[in-house]
Amino acid sequence: MNKIFSNLIKRVIIAIALFCITLFGNYEVENELKFNRVGVWVIRYSMTNKNEIDRFVDFAKENGITDLFVQIRGRGDAFYNSELVEKSEKIYPHSFDPLKYVCKIAKKNNIKIHAWFNTYILFSNTDRKLSPNHLFKLFPEWTETNIYGQNDYNLIYSEDVPTNYEGVYLSPIHQDVNKYLLLLIKEIMDNYDIDGIHLDYVRYQTKNSGFNKNGMEFFSKTSNLNVNDYLVNGKYYKNDSLKKFFFDKYSEYRIEAINKLIKQISDLNKRNNKKIEISSAVKPNPIIARNNYYQDWLTWIKNDWVDFVVPMNYAINNLDFNNNMLVIKDNLTENEYKKVMIGIGIWRLSPKESHNRINSVVDQDFDGIVFFSYNTLKNGGNYFEKMVSNN
């Protein structure tokens, strides 16, 4: 107990000290960023043609960016040539292969290319006209269902959309979904000279997600616990102890579904022997990530299923930003937290605020940072220069 209390006091003191540094002084970042790795997320709409790609690769070269996370799968479409997924209509000319081209020119400039792959999210824009061959149309039974029985396939067009609804997700517990995603990732690994696969949206949408019919049936069959008995109006719904017993097991089932995909990707990569890095954009607080989104990324690191993760530390409040990093360090060894690059949401910050975030990351001794996103750097009027120099 004394050790726990001591660690708590230590964290509070460090958090206060970091806040004071932000207010009254800065660890100066001189001219260029002093990290082993500096990355930028490049949203897919900068991957539509050669000119756009040349522009962000030139930006990376001129500013010492070591890693580009280029989005090649956004909402169930492809910004590359695929036998399994239709290519995005945004690409012109349509025969152009953005991923092949960016790999080619980045190699010449010693910049690493990570294929940024939106994993479970499938569709979010109801104004978009979907092809009959889009997965949303082909396999509606693969989509997610929440605890109230609302399926994403129907919910996205409903007037009763929950707050913070992100769109249609594939269900990690459906027995065909992970198999399909693994096929897509294998196709990319086999056909492109990439440095990394970067997984995003590799989580559930909310704590109340994960009730796809197929996945529930599989759980009921393998656990001898009927899921419907513990949901609203089920025969054990009002029995708190039995319900807790069930949901503890069901939460682990949801977590394990995603863990299984991460391990399968890792195993696939080892068999390929191409030295491709596996990484993931993750929720910034690992405890909240596991409990609320069933994203157990501490386990991914500890089991070496990923080479690194990028916590999306987009908190506006400095104390929240710093506390997320403290929680990470509390739960990883020194060697393990070297596998963490901190993501900074510069789109919602001034250059000075981003500069202060960088200082905090330096102070916490993380090896790398990743900026979200290139759009701010492209359109922000010398944003990068102002951020680094703090002018």
Q: Write the pLDDT tens digit of every residue in 210-235.
A: 999 999 999 999 999 999 999 999 99
- Higher-confidence position of 163 and 123: 123
Q: How far apart are CA 40 and CA 343, in angstroms?
A: 9
Distance CA 32, CA 313 (A): 21
Cβ atoms 282, 289 nearer than 8 A: yes
pLDDT band at 15 (very low <50, low <70, confident <90, very high): low
pLDDT band (50, 70, 90) for residue 32: low
Element (H, E) at 343: strand 341-344
Strands (E), 201-307: 277-282
Q: Does a cis peptide bond (omega within 30 degrees of 0) precede residue 132?
A: no
Which has more confidence, 164 or 133?
A: 133
User: Is the peptide bond between 158 and the residue preceding it cis, with omega within 30 degrees of 0?
Assistant: no
**For the chain, what percent of residues have pLDDT higher than 90?**
84
Mean pLDDT of 7-13: 56
Distance separating alpha carbons of residues 2 and 365, to the nearest angstrom: 27
Give strand ranges (E) for 256-330: 277-282, 308-313
CB 49 within 8 Å of CB 91: yes
Distance (Å, rounded) from C-alpha 26 to C-alpha 359? Answer: 7
Handedness of CA 378, 382, 388, 391 (dihedral sign): negative
Q: What are phi and psi of 279, to 5 degrees?
A: -140, 170
* pLDDT surpasses 90 at 342: yes
Is the confidence at residue 4, as pLDDT, over 60?
no
- 278 and 306 Cβ atoms separated by less than 8 Å: yes
Closest CA to 299 of 314, 309, 312: 309
Residue-range domains of the chain with CATH: 2-389 (3.20.20.80)
Give residue 157's pLDDT: 87
What pTM was estimated for this model as a whole? 0.91
> What is the token pair recorded at 78?
């492809």
The dihedral region occupied by 374, where left means phi > 0, alpha psi between -120 and 50, and beta the remainder, is alpha
Place of tokens 């929720």: 283
CB half-sphere exposure, 79, CA atoms < 13 A: 27
Rounded to an integer, the average pLDDT of 179-190 is 98
Kind of pairing, strands 368-371 and 341-344?
parallel
For residue 160, name the pLDDT band (cuts at 50, 70, 90).
confident
The bridge status of strand 121-123 relative to strand 168-169 is: antiparallel
The percent of residues in the chain predicted with pLDDT above 70, rounded, is 92
SS3 196: strand
Quote the pLDDT of residue 159.
81
For 135-145, the pLDDT digits (tens) are 999 999 999 99
CA distances from 352 to 19, 70, 122, 359, 385 (A): 15, 26, 35, 11, 11
